[in-house]
Amino acid sequence: MSRRKVAVLMGSASDRDRMAPAAETLARYGIEADVRVMSAHRTPAAVAEFAASARDAGYGAIICGAGLAAHLAGAVAAHTTLPVIGVPLSGGALNGVDALYSTVQMPKGIPVATVAIDGAMNAALLAVQILAVDDAELAAELERHRAEMVPPPA
């Protein structure tokens, strides 16, 4: 049985609205979302400590949303071997393209799965898919969700 707890981290409290779809989507699948504000720049020690202890705390994956320099996902990935999913957030002069590049350009050996700018819902679905690798119940729920998305015949 998979671990049914996922951390949803964001670099700033102002990111809550854009990251809310992650927690909502996880809840739909019965997965506990632990939502926290943690900054790679303002609270780096807390980020490192959280990431390093996440596996022992029962997390199955970590979703990180951040804008601009968007270092949160990379800082988390540096301290854990759990799957880390980065959500680049829109904002600033480049409207999230800078965050996308920052999140996706990780050095070899420290991967971060990256979804679209403001793609918190897809980040949660990716986390569910990861947890479903060894959880048949979650896999069946994903199949049902996919079937619901198919439009009826014309």
The answer to whether residue 33 sits within a structural domain is yes
The answer to whether residue 92 sits within a structural domain is yes
Residue 127's DSSP bridge partners are none
The answer to whether residue 154 sits within a structural domain is no
CA distance 15 to 13: 5
CATH of the domain at 24: 3.40.50.1970
The answer to whether residue 27 sits within a structural domain is yes
The distance in angstroms from the start CA to the end CA of the chain is 40
Mean pLDDT of 8-34: 97
Confidence of residue 11 (pLDDT cuts 50, 70, 90): very high
CA distance 109 to 121: 26
The answer to whether residue 121 sits within a structural domain is yes
Q: Residue 3: its pLDDT value, please?
A: 64
Residue 113's DSSP bridge partners are 85
* Average pLDDT score, the chain: 95
Q: pLDDT (tens digit, 9 = 90+) per residue, 127-154?
A: 999 999 999 999 999 999 999 988 888 8
Q: How many domains does the chain have?
A: 1
Q: Residue 1: its pLDDT value, please?
A: 41
Query: 2 pLDDT exceeds 70?
Result: no
Query: 55 pLDDT exceeds 70?
Result: yes
Range of the domain at 100: 5-149
CA distance 32 to 60: 10
With beta carbons less than 8 A apart as the criterion, state whether 72 and 47 touch.
Answer: yes
With beta carbons less than 8 A apart as the criterion, state whether 11 and 65 touch.
Answer: yes
Closest CA to 10 of 66, 60, 49: 66
Mean pLDDT of 81-109: 95
CA distance 130 to 136: 12
- What are the backbone angles phi and psi of residue 35, rounded to the nearest 5°? -90, 125
